[in-house]
Amino acid sequence: MLSKAAILVADRTFEMRDVPVPDELPQGGGLLKVEGCGICGTDVEQWHGSFVRNGLMRYPTILGHEPVGRIAHLDAAAERRWGVKVGDRVALHGIAPCGTCARCMRQETCADTLQYGAHPFDVGSGLWGGYSQYMEIVPRAKLYPVSNDLSVEDALLYNPLAAGFSWLIEAGGLCYGDTVLILGSGQRGLACVLAAVEAGASRIIVTGLKRDAGSLISPELSVRPTLSSPKIKTS
């Protein structure tokens, strides 16, 4: 079986190739049939070559670290670990730390992280990015169930929405009743707005430039917060 993939081979240069899908996978691993893959600023930086220049990846590479798809293959060990089966719809976490090194034990950045969308194409199957029909799932990866009722477009918002909650609540420490200032009304800025609403912020201020007028939140935004109805102010 072959997987058609868009492979980044040089700065701003993709090549379409048919990549062999391995007949045998590592024990406890799996295979994902990709339905769609989100694009974020990291992909753009990679395409322009900054990741290669900074030593964060090398060519060739299959980009794409925000994939949603269906399980195409799992062995029994993987089914038990992830609690999913062939045909289930899942989102694949873009980072797969080893979970056993000293840095992982200290909850720091893993020294041996497999980063989907940046792992070298010439390592293993090479199917390490979402710009491909199939992706290999390593045993240490994290999978999240995705509802069959969601469109692909809506399902692919899982990553920016998660970033909004992570940045604003986990990293920012937002508490109920706080006032929050969000600098920028891009995709992840708006995800932070949703997180602030759900966390019960009393006032949400969103900034942007004139060219952002179409995406800036208006006070009439129809949202249903869990805990309160915050005042949303734009500037």
pLDDT digit string (tens) for 40-88? 889 999 999 999 999 999 999 999 999 999 999 999 999 999 999 999 9
3-state SS class at 82: helix
* Alpha-carbon distances of 188 from 78, 181, 183, 217, 229, rounded to whole Å: 32, 14, 10, 13, 21
pLDDT band at 234 (very low <50, low <70, confident <90, very high): low
User: φ, ψ for residue 137 (rounded to 5)?
Assistant: -105, 115
Question: Which fold is adopted by the domain 2-155?
Answer: Quinone Oxidoreductase; Chain A, domain 1 (3.90.180)
Closest by CA to 215, choosing from 195, 192, 187, 193, is 187
pLDDT band at 211 (very low <50, low <70, confident <90, very high): confident
For residues 87 and 70, what is the distance between their CA atoms, to the nearest angstrom?
A: 5
Whether residue 91 is predicted with pLDDT greater than 80 in this model: the reply is yes
List pLDDT tens digits, range 132-190: 999 999 999 999 999 999 999 999 999 999 999 999 999 999 999 999 999 988 888 89
| pLDDT for res 109 | 85
Q: Indicate the pairing of strand 2-10 with strand 67-74.
A: unpaired
Measured from the Cβ of residue 157, the count of other Cβ atoms closer than 10 Å reads 17
170 versus 127: the higher-pLDDT residue is: 127
* Alpha-carbon distances of 101 from 105, 107, 112, rounded to whole Å: 6, 10, 8
| pLDDT for res 215 | 77
List pLDDT tens digits, range 35-50: 999 998 899 999 999 9
Contact status, residue 158 vs residue 170, Cβ threshold 8 Å: no
Find tokens 């949400």 and name the residue.
204
pLDDT band at 107 (very low <50, low <70, confident <90, very high): confident
Closest by CA to 187, choosing from 61, 70, 7, 44, is 44
Percent of the chain with pLDDT over 90: 74
pLDDT band at 209 (very low <50, low <70, confident <90, very high): confident
Mean pLDDT on 21-29: 92
For 124, residues 6+ apart whose C-beta sits below 8 A from its C-beta are 136
61 versus 104: the higher-pLDDT residue is: 61
User: Where does 159-234 sit in CATH, by number?
Assistant: 3.40.50.720
Given phi > 0 = left and psi -120 to 50 = alpha, else beta, which region is 87? left
Average pLDDT, the chain: 90
Measured from the Cβ of residue 211, the count of other Cβ atoms closer than 10 Å reads 7
Whether residue 222 is predicted with pLDDT greater than 50 in this model: the reply is no
Kindly list the domain boundaries of the chain, sorted by start residue. Answer: 2-155, 159-234
